[in-house]
Amino acid sequence: MKKQIITFLALAALTVGATARQPESGYRGFIDWSNSLRSEKNLWGNNEAQYYSGLSTSHGYQFKFPLFIGAGIDYEYNSKWSSHILATFIQGRTDLKFGKFTPFGDIRIGYNLASGGGIYFSPTIGYRFNWGRKAGINLGVGMTLQGYSADVYDITFDPVNGYWHFGNKLYTHHGCIAFFSFRLGFDF
């Protein structure tokens, strides 16, 4: 345990002592390991966690400090429910610099192609660990809103045979699910 604490403190000291550099103008790309988590009540009224994990990538143009504009795709999968998020988005990002401290703000707005379709909105704040002007490691937390559509049917129970009967489609329900998000990525 002592060895782990010393290693952590040494890494933190190296990070704080690193030269804070901002990205250069021109092409810039991102590859992120995306994770989304939420809790909801199941059919029996118990809270159940839903965890999605996957990759996202975006590519665009870094304007003079501090604005990046790009577009990308995000795919996250929930193996427990065989459910997924597949979104295309446009991304805006600003990399700030306060002495050696280099935080960032990121917003993704787009369309979720999975679950019947709907809005995709994901703001994130985080910290960029610099690897020079051309590369960096990004660690961010935020929120993801995933839109969906679901058909609602007239359902009746047949007590004689003991089964549920799905009748006519009544309408299509449109909704939005909120997730806590965590991203670990690399920019180049």
Mean pLDDT of 76-80: 90
pLDDT at 39 over 70: yes
pLDDT of residue 7: 56
CB 146 within 8 A of CB 177: yes
pLDDT at 103 over 90: yes
**pLDDT tens digit sequence for 113-152:** 988 889 999 999 999 998 876 899 999 999 999 988 888 8
Residues 27-53 as b or e (16 or more Cβ within 10 Å = b): ebebebebbbebeeeeeeeeeeebebe
- Going by C-beta distance under 8 Å and a sequence separation of 6 or more, which residues neighbour residue 17? 100
Mean pLDDT of 16-43: 79
Mean pLDDT of 163-170: 80
pLDDT of residue 145: 93
pLDDT of residue 124: 97
pLDDT at 14 over 50: no
- C-alpha 91/C-alpha 55 separation (Å) is 15
Which residues share a beta bridge with 186?
31, 137
Q: Judging by beta carbons within 10 Å of its beta carbon (0-12, 13-18, 19+), is residue 78 exposed, middle or buried?
A: middle
Confidence of residue 5 (pLDDT cuts 50, 70, 90): low
CA distances from 116 to 50, 109, 175, 177, 178 (A): 19, 17, 10, 13, 16
Q: Which residue has the higher pLDDT, 72 or 22?
A: 72
pLDDT at 66 over 50: yes
Within a 13 Å sphere around the CA of 176, how many CA atoms are in the beta-carbon half?
Answer: 10
CB 115 within 8 A of CB 176: no
**pLDDT tens digit sequence for 40-58:** 776 677 888 889 999 999 9
- What mean pLDDT, rounded, does the chain reach? 85
pLDDT at 18 over 90: no
Using alpha carbons, select from 20, 8, 13 the residue that is nearest to residue 129. Answer: 20
Residues 91-114 as b or e (16 or more Cβ within 10 Å = b): bebebebeeeebebbbbbebebbb
